[in-house]
Chain A
């Protein structure tokens, strides 16, 4: 396991804010998010859809879709600030220093070009190799990601591969130029359950071998528990809790994380029933005052309705919850049984 404290961080995200101007006003989709990733570390980012986890990933690779934009904070890769780079400079970082894997391997590949061509093109964009050398490297990558018969399949088109095989090709593409960090956005969601484990194992093995750090964005707590070194839990655009994966899974500090953990079935622990969090994450237009989670929280108090908690130390993790503040949550306010 990587020990983040000893090394300078590979990626630093500080007070990141991502905005979406809409006709009804500007939405703050990512609100004051900070975290680090150490070299070779796997950071899991979980949360419901709309929690801001994919946007955070897109902001890091510099591909926020307009009109979304970074409104504040900074992102540093290997100490160099990358959130304000001109397009052409950032292009040279993408693919070369940061690789990306997207959710759906079926749509990530250009259907009109052979996978070999797409690999060679990516390699030659970032590395000073001849066409023949690039092809040799591409073949090596395909073998490494476990494409059987790589020599014959390199000239095949994406539609000739299954979903799992295509995601392997996508991983090969992300690794083309030997990046230091891979941002993987729901890399297994679109795949069959039986193939998900293979892909996760492959990703984990490759990154260990290459010393590549991973930011693994997913809503699947099971995948995180298996793969990540540390995990960040996002809720309504903010980080609710961040810490070593074992601690967060076993001893969740934020009531939201507790609810999230209660909702995954586990073979080892015998539980009577899976718990479920009542209600839904608020829309970005109607985030409540105080703690964004307070309408769904079973442990809330008067303070949670008025004051917004920032991340604070909670055991080995950090959680954004007044439960861990010396002042506490104030007068307990039981949650209404029926949500409007």
Chain B
């Protein structure tokens, strides 16, 4: 078990290094860090001096290590667009994105999983068929379109909910939160639904197909032959067995919520890192792009590790592998 976790941690580090390499190449070779720091009238000599001083003439591996070292301390240089430190720009916007993603994730899990279980257990019922058909629409509708339609109905026509921004936020230390004001909570509803809807349909369809798959297995048939109640079979035996694949995909999907926030934040003018990223793409603000890439990579790696740990909680087959707990068969 320890060996397995250790291997996963090593793999995670490898992924992070790869992402770091891409970020570094962007930072160093696509953008020219010097251009961002000096004016038009700086002479070539001054530029060269600065280059030497910043270590930009060092061998690439050393520069890469320095880049990673700086990144670890939150130092990503200055934004080309606003000339502010990238680290601070991102940190200011992280709470908005994380709170939005969290709300969307809760929405996805607490609505999507029960819907998937229901449609998996009663695949022939008309309401399951309806949900399945509606879910296909959910998958086919681009996120931004869902956002626009929600704004049109609930903001423009009904005036129930705000169409942009975070509303009033409260500072808790450096963190700014939506959760403590009425207007902040109201502002979260439409963006969270928009962000979550696509993932919700995916999770629902996944749980449904896993459920259908598990219901066909021998051990479910044997559980029926043992005369267990439907409740015990559906929720005790079937649901738990669907959890392993569902955890995998759900983990990845929830991770991608943070990345998909790019679109939602643009539609709702939500001041998060996603919006910052779009602006940086439009202006080719390379340091911000590089930093965002690393941030997303980090989130994904963390989520993957959590997913791996969850496996152990669910599946006894993993727990005993390599841990010396396997007992001889006969």
Is B330 in contact with A125, judged by CB distance below 8 angstroms?
no
Count of A-B contacts with CB under 8 A? 95
Is B218 in contact with A93, judged by CB distance below 8 angstroms?
no
**What string of 1s and 0s marks CB contacts (under 8 Å) between A289-311 and chain B?**
00000000000000000000000
Is B226 in contact with A95, judged by CB distance below 8 angstroms?
yes
Chain B residues with CB below 8 A from A122, complex form = 226-228
Contact of A100 among B222, B228, B240, B330 (CB under 8 A): B222
Interface size on A, residues (CB 8 A): 39
Closest Cβ of chain A to B70, distance in Å, is 46
Chain A residues with CB below 8 A from B221, complex form = 63, 102
Question: Within 8 Å of chain B (Cβ to Cβ): is A130?
Answer: no
Chain B residues with CB below 8 A from A63, complex form = 221, 224-225
Is B223 in contact with A110, judged by CB distance below 8 angstroms?
yes
Question: Within 8 Å of chain B (Cβ to Cβ): is A267?
Answer: no
Closest Cβ of chain A to B320, distance in Å, is 7
A159 to B317, CA, bound (A): 7
Contact of B241 among A110, A126, A157, A176 (CB under 8 A): A110
Closest Cβ of chain B to A213, distance in Å, is 16
**At the interface with chain B, which of A18-26, A161-169, A280-288, A326-334?**
A161-169
Is B227 in contact with A126, judged by CB distance below 8 angstroms?
yes
Question: Within 8 Å of chain B (Cβ to Cβ): is A205?
Answer: no
Is A102 in contact with B232, judged by CB distance below 8 angstroms?
no
Question: Within 8 Å of chain A (Cβ to Cβ): is B326?
Answer: yes
Closest Cβ of chain B to A273, distance in Å, is 38
Chain B residues with CB below 8 A from A102, complex form = 218, 221-222, 225
A112-B315, A160-B326, A160-B327 known; A170 vs B227 contact (CB < 8 Å): no
Chain B residues numbered 211-225 whose CB sits less than 8 Å from any CB in chain A: 217-219, 221-225
Chain A residues with CB below 8 A from B241, complex form = 110-112
**What string of 1s and 0s marks CB contacts (under 8 Å) between A174-205 and chain B?**
10110000000000000000000000000000
Question: Within 8 Å of chain B (Cβ to Cβ): is A94?
Answer: yes
Chain B residues with CB below 8 A from A125, complex form = 226-229, 232
Closest Cβ of chain A to B313, distance in Å, is 11
Q: How large is the interface on B (under 10, 10 to 19, 20 to 34, 35 or more residues)?
A: 20 to 34
Chain B residues with CB below 8 A from A96, complex form = 227
Closest Cβ of chain A to B277, distance in Å, is 41
Closest residue on chain B to residue A162 by CB atoms: B329
Is B222 in contact with A108, judged by CB distance below 8 angstroms?
yes
Is B225 in contact with A94, judged by CB distance below 8 angstroms?
yes
Chain A residues numbered 97-154 whose CB sits less than 8 Å from any CB in chain B: 99-100, 102, 104, 107-114, 121-122, 125-126, 153
Chain A residues with CB below 8 A from B317, complex form = 111, 157, 159
Question: Within 8 Å of chain B (Cβ to Cβ): is A75?
Answer: no
Is B226 in contact with A110, judged by CB distance below 8 angstroms?
no
Chain A residues with CB below 8 A from B229, complex form = 91, 125
Is B227 in contact with A107, judged by CB distance below 8 angstroms?
no
Question: Within 8 Å of chain B (Cβ to Cβ): is A92?
Answer: yes
Question: Within 8 Å of chain B (Cβ to Cβ): is A233?
Answer: no
Closest Cβ of chain B to A129, distance in Å, is 15
A6 to B104, CA, bound (A): 70
Is A108 in contact with B218, judged by CB distance below 8 angstroms?
yes
Is A160 in contact with B320, judged by CB distance below 8 angstroms?
yes
A61 to B236, CA, bound (A): 22
Question: Within 8 Å of chain A (Cβ to Cβ): is B65?
Answer: no
Is B226 in contact with A176, judged by CB distance below 8 angstroms?
yes
Chain A residues numbered 208-266 whose CB sits less than 8 Å from any CB in chain B: none
Closest Cβ of chain A to B268, distance in Å, is 41
Question: Within 8 Å of chain A (Cβ to Cβ): is B316?
Answer: yes
Chain B residues with CB below 8 A from A95, complex form = 225-228
Question: Within 8 Å of chain B (Cβ to Cβ): is A323?
Answer: no
Question: Within 8 Å of chain B (Cβ to Cβ): is A156?
Answer: yes
A107 to B241, CA, bound (A): 13
Closest residue on chain B to residue A185 by CB atoms: B225
A176 to B227, CA, bound (A): 11
Question: Within 8 Å of chain A (Cβ to Cβ): is B237?
Answer: yes
**What string of 1s and 0s marks CB contacts (under 8 Å) between B235-251 and chain A?**
01100110000000000
Interface centre among A94, A96, A99, A111 (most CB of B within 10 A): A111
Chain A residues numbered 29-43 whose CB sits less than 8 Å from any CB in chain B: none
A3 to B327, CA, bound (A): 45
Question: Within 8 Å of chain B (Cβ to Cβ): is A319?
Answer: no
Is A110 in contact with B219, judged by CB distance below 8 angstroms?
yes
Question: Within 8 Å of chain B (Cβ to Cβ): is A11?
Answer: no
Interface centre among B222, B315, B329 (most CB of A within 10 A): B222
A164-B330, A173-B226 known; A111 vs B316 contact (CB < 8 Å): yes
Chain B residues numbered 308-324 whose CB sits less than 8 Å from any CB in chain A: 314-317, 320
Taking beta carbons and an 8 Å cutoff, which residues of B are in contact with A?
A: 217-219, 221-230, 232, 236-237, 240-241, 314-317, 320, 325-327, 329-330
**12 CB-based A-B contacts, threshold 8 Å:** A63-B221, A63-B224, A91-B224, A91-B227, A91-B230, A100-B222, A110-B241, A111-B317, A112-B314, A126-B227, A157-B320, A161-B329
Taking beta carbons and an 8 Å cutoff, which residues of A are in contact with B?
A: 61, 63, 91-96, 99-100, 102, 104, 107-114, 121-122, 125-126, 153, 156-157, 159-165, 170, 173-174, 176-177
| Given A61-B225, A94-B227, 6 other A-B residues pairs in contact with their CB atoms under 8 A | A94-B224, A95-B225, A99-B225, A108-B218, A110-B223, A125-B228
Q: Which 9 A-B pairs have the closest CB atoms?
A: A95-B227, A162-B329, A100-B225, A107-B218, A94-B227, A157-B316, A95-B226, A108-B222, A110-B219
